[in-house]
Amino acid sequence: MSKPSLVVGVPKEIKNNENRVALTPGGAGMLQMSGHRVLVEAGAGIGSGFSDEDYRQEGATILGFAADVWAQSDMIMKVKEPLPAEYGYFKEGQMLFTYLHLAAAHDLASQLLEKKVTGIAYETIQLPNGSLPLLTPMSEVAGRMSVQIGAHYLEKFYGGRGILLGGVPGVPPADVIILGGGIVGTNAAKMALGLGANVVIIERSADRMRALDDIFGGHLRTLMSNPYNITSAVQKADLLIGAVLIPGARAPRLVTSAMVQSMKPGAVIVDVAVDQGGSIETIDRVTTHSDPTYEKFGVLHYAVANMPGAVPRTSTLALTNVTLPYALELANKGFTQALAENYTLQLGVNTYKGSVTHPAVAEALGMPYTKLSDLS
């Protein structure tokens, strides 16, 4: 029996200032060598430094319009979730392989269900050890960026307190409070400590706190996540970073409006969890790279949902390093066989045949959950 041949489409990202692309020319070449056809929208790779000619040299076909890419493809590879302007392209049975973040996107979920799109979310593909291999590289980028961004907005010109993150001899450094000690929080801590800040990570797992203490050799403090500790820490923060994630689910609201009101004037909040709804109550809207911040209670809020899009070359290379093997598996084996042989990939399926097939996503959306095996 010959392996299935697939048409893989790569449209240009249309989210505000999103310069990443879902597939590098090298990745397109690997799919082509495996017997598949790759369609790339003209200009899709420009923001990441890849020309249309780079894709052509690897055998990909360049199409001028997104509508044609979507219409002719069996599987669409993207970086960010589709926006309303793209909903009309959806077609029944088409695989959509991208970050979906459906827990905070009810309208998108409804459209995927109505059109019976097979939605495979990067962020819910999960290994047996609980790690999220397709989320990890972007969490590393976003965690490191969160400190760069926070240091930038702490400058007086941008509305911040006018303090240097690391201080100088005779002047204390800034207090950086990080909610969550996972990939984002750990990478944020590396950057903040490297710049000389005082760092506290608030974490709910005692085992993870022990691991963080070993990783950082006691150079930061850890606190158990509870309302008392969060309230006390937030009040002292110059920079507060939200780095909490529950796979597929809406981020828990850990910081209340009252806590934010207690913060120092000119303090900065960077909520990396905003694409899952945010973990801070006053993060009540998503911002963009072109208009990234707003002020509330005298505190500057940064709520951009596609932070890694600001460093697209690094981000695209890091992302495609981990997504391409799964894309090849789906293309080479076909959806049914690929999932039958890889439980990790099964966990990525959020929507299938008009049903929500991930329990955390269903709970967050208030929709019925259907086991994937019941739809086979």
User: For 30-50, what is each residue's pLDDT tens digit?
Assistant: 999 999 999 999 999 999 999
Please indicate, yes or no, whether residues 162 and 294 belong to a single structural domain of this protein. Answer: yes
Average pLDDT of the segment spanning 326-338: 96
Per the annotation, does 161 bind a ligand? Answer: no
Whether 275 is catalytic: yes
- Is a pLDDT exceeding 70 seen at residue 80? yes
Q: Is the domain of 144 the same as that of 265?
A: yes
Catalytic choice (238, 275, 301, 358): 275
Q: Is 262 part of any known ligand binding site? A: no
Q: Is 275 annotated as a binding residue?
A: yes
99 and 173 in a single domain? The answer is no
Per the annotation, does 245 bind a ligand?
Answer: yes
pTM of the model: 0.88
Same domain for 193 and 275 = yes
> Over 90: is that where the pLDDT of 86 sits?
yes
What is the per-residue pLDDT across 168-210, written as a single tens digit (0 to 9) for each? 999 999 999 999 999 999 999 999 999 999 999 999 999 999 9
The answer to whether position 2 is within a domain reads: no
208 shares a domain with 106: no
Q: What is the pLDDT of residue 35?
A: 96
Tens digit of pLDDT for each residue in 258-313? Answer: 999 999 999 999 999 887 888 999 998 999 999 999 999 999 999 998 899 999 99
Q: Are residues 180 and 291 in the same domain?
A: yes
Q: Is residue 1 part of a domain?
A: no
Pair 287, 294: CB distance under 8 Å: yes
* CATH number, position 294: 3.40.50.720
30 within domain boundaries: yes
Confidence of residue 360 (pLDDT cuts 50, 70, 90): very high
Q: What mean pLDDT value characterizes the chain?
A: 95
36 and 117 belong to one structural domain: yes
Q: Are residues 294 and 156 both part of a single domain?
A: yes
Residues 361 and 215 in one domain: no
Distance CA 33, CA 37 (A): 9
Domain co-membership, 105 together with 51: yes
Predicted local distance difference test score (pLDDT) of residue 269: 98
Give the model confidence (pLDDT) of 132-153 as tens digits.
999 999 999 999 999 999 999 9
What domain count does the chain have?
Answer: 2
- Domain span at residue 330? 7-131+312-374
Q: Point out the domain boundary residue: 302, 337, 362.
A: 302
Residues 226-238: pLDDT tens digits?
999 999 999 999 9
The yes-or-no verdict on residue 1 having pLDDT over 50 is no
204: annotated binding-site residue?
Answer: no
Q: Is residue 118 part of a domain?
A: yes
Query: Does position 222 have pLDDT exceeding 70, yes or no?
Result: yes
- From the list 36, 74, 101, 301, the catalytic residue is 101
Q: Annotated catalytic, 101?
A: yes
